[in-house]
């Protein structure tokens, strides 16, 4: 997939062609230039990476289903990178792999929903995380609803937030999307699923 940079605001777009309009500053495709992929500098040997892996697994965070839309299409994926950044206004950040269909949907629509899961929803993580939306309709027979943004929200989640993208940060294999919360609700008063619990019980 090619990488295009807006020469006005430096927004980065991925696709075979530049976008019809820059979502940040509004200029047309003629203001985009193709740029080469940058290779990340290797700072660890394979042995050092293997040694560090158990320490990395000590990070404590949740497991979520991140959803978005593209026109009338919807998709979602499992993700463990979602956190609050500010409280007024409420802004959150998510990390999404650039190869994922959900990344494509968020990049185009600039909206996403965060679905908080309970400890009994490990199979929900597997359903949304172990298959691609390019091959299957992940929402087939999965109850959901929509609110302000149109990004799907799971009916059986503990809580949900929907967000409008404010900033994008390119971090190599992933993009960090910073979104301002536009609506949300807690549906159940239960303890949320964490990545540590998932690894112990998957």
40 has pLDDT over 60? no
User: What confidence tens digit (pLDDT) does each residue in 58-105 have?
Assistant: 777 899 999 999 999 999 999 999 999 999 999 999 999 998 999 999
The count of other CB atoms within 10 Å of the CB of residue 70 is: 15
39 has pLDDT over 60? no
DSSP string, 48-111: HHHHHHHHHTT---B-EEEEEEETTEEEEEEES-EEEEEETTEEEEEEEETTSHHHHHHHHH-E
Average pLDDT, the chain: 91
Q: Which two tokens stand for residue 79?
A: 């993700």
Question: Which CATH fold would you assign to the domain 60-201?
Answer: Pnp Oxidase; Chain A (2.30.110)
SS3 content of the chain, % helix, strand, coil (to 5): 20, 40, 45
Whether pTM exceeds 0.85: no
Whether the Cβ atoms of residue 169 and residue 149 lie closer than 8 Å to each other:
no
Higher pLDDT, 95 or 27: 95
**Average pLDDT of span 182-191:** 95
Residues of the chain with CATH 2.30.110.10: 60-201
Counting every residue written for the chain, the total comes to: 202
Instruction: From 142, 167, 146, 174, select the one nearest 156 (Cα to Cα).
Output: 142
CA distance linking residue 12 with residue 168, whole number of Å: 9
């Amino acid at each position: 997939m090619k990488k295009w940079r807006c020469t006005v605001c430096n927004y980065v777009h991925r696709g075979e062609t530049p976008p019809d309009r820059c979502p940040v500053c509004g200029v047309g495709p003629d203001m985009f230039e193709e740029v080469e992929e940058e290779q990340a500098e290797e700072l660890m040997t394979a042995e050092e990476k293997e040694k560090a892996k158990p320490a990395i697994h000590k990070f404590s965070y949740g497991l979520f289903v991140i959803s978005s839309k593209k026109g009338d299409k919807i998709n979602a994926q499992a993700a463990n990178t979602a956190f609050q950044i500010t409280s007024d206004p409420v802004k959150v950040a998510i990390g999404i792999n650039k190869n994922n269909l959900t990344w494509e949907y968020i990049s185009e629509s600039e909206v996403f929903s965060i679905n908080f899961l309970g400890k009994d929803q490990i199979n929900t993580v597997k359903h949304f995380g172990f298959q691609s939306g390019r091959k299957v309709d992940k929402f087939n027979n999965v109850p959901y609803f929509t609110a302000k943004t149109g990004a799907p929200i799971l009916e059986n989640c503990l809580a949900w937030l929907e967000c409008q993208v404010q900033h994008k940060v390119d971090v190599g294999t992933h993009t960090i999307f910073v979104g301002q919360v536009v609506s949300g609700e807690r549906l159940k008063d239960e303890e949320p699923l964490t990545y540590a619990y998932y690894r112990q019980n998957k």
